[in-house]
Structure 1
Amino acid sequence: MENAKYLKTVVIDKLIENEATEVEDVTIDESRLNLYLNGEKTISMMCIPKDQDAHAVGFLMSENVITSIDDIEELKVSEDGLRVDVKASINEDSLQNLYKEKTLTSGCGGGVTGTADGNLEIPFNQTSFKIKPETISSEVKIFYRESELYNLTGCVHKAMIYLLDGTTVTAEDIGRHNAIDKAIGKCKLQGLDTTKSVLFVSGRLSSEMVTKAVMHRIPVIVSRTAPTYLGVQTAHKHGITMIGFARGRKMNLYTHQGRIDV
């Protein structure tokens, strides 16, 4: 099994109707990933030790520390998988803002961001990209059905980017923000265009989840669950189509509904 190395076994007492049975259970591995930028430690992130290169790229670009994949000169993951070294041309102001703000996000795993104040200087997203509601419904089913680590442990979040040609790029992690960064990082490393795409996420649509779509010009973001008020306001302000409670053939369209081709 491909994901077996990210699993750990624990012994538990399983209680059913006041009768306890000792059984083995499966949990997810959780490690501290240290990110070094131009030789200096930038941040540590608790995550699943998987797709670390994509995680680093997605995080740095989401924070505007790196503005283009072409800015990266070298990217190396250590043999133990717990350190990523990136050599790149950087936006020093964004890096200092990350150190200064260090806002603890509402995402699982306690993510940190420097772009959560709602004052992003990002152009309004005016793309003419559209997607049919039946495509969204179909992809939501696939999104949850094909989630091996979640099915095994019930302990991870998932992100998926659906591209214009039907290609999908997915990632899983203990934190929603990590999963999004990994999925976006994979796209950037493969040279894929996210400006005409849909971001599917597990969990609520809070402001920092929407902000990642804003930073990467992703026009549509979808979840089976609810948004926060600030999440809705962020999507409205920056031209992001927000869809919540996408279940079966039903969904709630919160902002910029014109991209849903009904």
Structure 2
Amino acid sequence: MEVLKKINIVRFEDGNQVPKEDIVILESRVNFYLNGEKIISTMCIPQDEDAHMVGFLLSEGVIDGVGDITSLEVRNSGLEVWMEARSNQKNLINLYKEKTLVSGCGGGITGNTGNQIEIEFNASDLRIEGGWILEHVKRFYQESELYLQTGCVHKAMLLFANGEFLESEDIGRHNAIDKVCGKARLKEKDPNEGILIVSGRLSSEMVTKAVMHRIPIVVSRTAPTFLGVKTAQMHGITLCGFARGKNMNIYTHPSRILF
């Protein structure tokens, strides 16, 4: 589906009104169906819809892996995704409720009160040279096609030590992460072996996505929140913010970044 639309606008330019043609992003409601039942509607860019559903259900603990999926189909011109899969019924029922993530190695809490999901502490031995990461952060922003055209999207990239990468863009920060993680799983690549680079701030919800997808290193050009830092610390995530030029702040578990 075409995700860019041209519209006519009036631009205020040096004190004058100037007719212009502009490009804006298409925002659509995409419905997810699991085992014949509609489970959620999400406002997003209608692309990578199958990966989006896979990443979302993994991040919510509704499915444990792509091995649980028996069929996956995008329908209705990209506005519906239908999946048949073995699912965790408890987490499916609690999909819309507040949750607490409990570290399997020390009892850390990273969310609101409510239903608990136990997550093993991320003990990944991944080690990456800091300058190499910063070079990819620079490229990450230079090559964001939809952002350069519209100024209206977020981007997420999974970068692997061999230089391979996957990326996704969406109007929602969370959607972009779900999409790129879903892509990785569908391509049989393990997010636990990668670095997540994101365009948005590192709030607790963003870091929680990394916790659920077992991603050991998360990097952004912008800032973390205090709860984002706390979430990363308790669950073994190396959290890097303000990654710009030759510098970045490492807030948690710095041993994964080589100097």
TM-score by length of 2: 0.92
Q: Displacement of 1:122 after TM fit?
A: 0.6
Which one of the candidate residues 66, 75, 78 is aligned to 1:78?
A: 75
Report the residue type matching 1:89 in the other structure: R
In the alignment, structure 1 residue 45 sits paired with structure 2 residue 35:
no
Deviations 1:228-250 (CA, angstroms, capped at 9, x unpaired): 11100000000000000000101
Corresponding residue of 1:201: 198
Gaps of 5+ in 1: 103-114
More strand by share: 2
In the alignment, structure 1 residue 166 sits paired with structure 2 residue 142:
no
In the alignment, structure 1 residue 133 sits paired with structure 2 residue 130:
yes
Output aligned runs, 1:100-139, within 5 Å: 100-101=97-98, 116-117=111-112, 120-139=117-136
Deviations 1:5-40 (CA, angstroms, capped at 9, x unpaired): 210111111002321111111000000000000000
Q: Displacement of 1:185 after TM fit?
A: 0.3
Corresponding residue of 2:252: 255
Report the residue type matching 1:14 in the other structure: R
Does 14-23 or 219-228 show the bigger shift? 14-23
Q: Secondary structure at the match of 1:66?
A: coil
Output aligned runs, 1:62-77, within 5 Å: 62-77=59-74
How many residue pairs align between the two structures?
A: 248
Does 32-41 or 93-102 show the bigger shift? 93-102
Take 2:11 and 2:193, find their aligned partners in 1: how far apart are those partners? 47
Take 1:232 and 1:100, find their aligned partners in 2: how far apart are those partners? 23
Take 2:134 and 2:9, find their aligned partners in 1: how far apart are those partners? 37
Q: Displacement of 1:162 after TM fit?
A: 0.5
Corresponding residue of 1:211: 208
Take 1:218 and 1:234, find their aligned partners in 2: how far apart are those partners? 13
Q: Secondary structure at the match of 1:98?
A: coil
Corresponding residue of 1:57: 54
Take 1:100 and 1:254, find their aligned partners in 2: how far apart are those partners? 29
Deviations 1:91-112 (CA, angstroms, capped at 9, x unpaired): 011111113339xxxxxxxxxx
Q: Displacement of 1:121 after TM fit?
A: 1.1
Which one of the candidate residues 26, 29, 33 is aligned to 1:32?
A: 29
Corresponding residue of 1:221: 218
Take 1:92 and 1:179, find their aligned partners in 2: how far apart are those partners? 25
Q: Secondary structure at the match of 2:205?
A: helix
TM-score by length of 1: 0.91
Question: Cα RMSD between the aligned structures?
Answer: 1.6
Q: Secondary structure at the match of 2:118?
A: coil
Deviations 1:110-155 (CA, angstroms, capped at 9, x unpaired): xxxxx94375411111111111011111110111111110000000
In the alignment, structure 1 residue 146 sits paired with structure 2 residue 157:
no
**Percent of pairs identical after alignment?**
56
In the alignment, structure 1 residue 188 sits paired with structure 2 residue 153:
no
Q: Displacement of 1:80 after TM fit?
A: 1.0
Which one of the candidate residues 228, 236, 243 is aligned to 2:233?
A: 236
Report the residue type matching 1:117 in the other structure: N
Flag the 1:234–1:204 CA change in 2: closer, same or farther, 3 A. Answer: same
Report the residue type matching 2:112 in the other structure: D
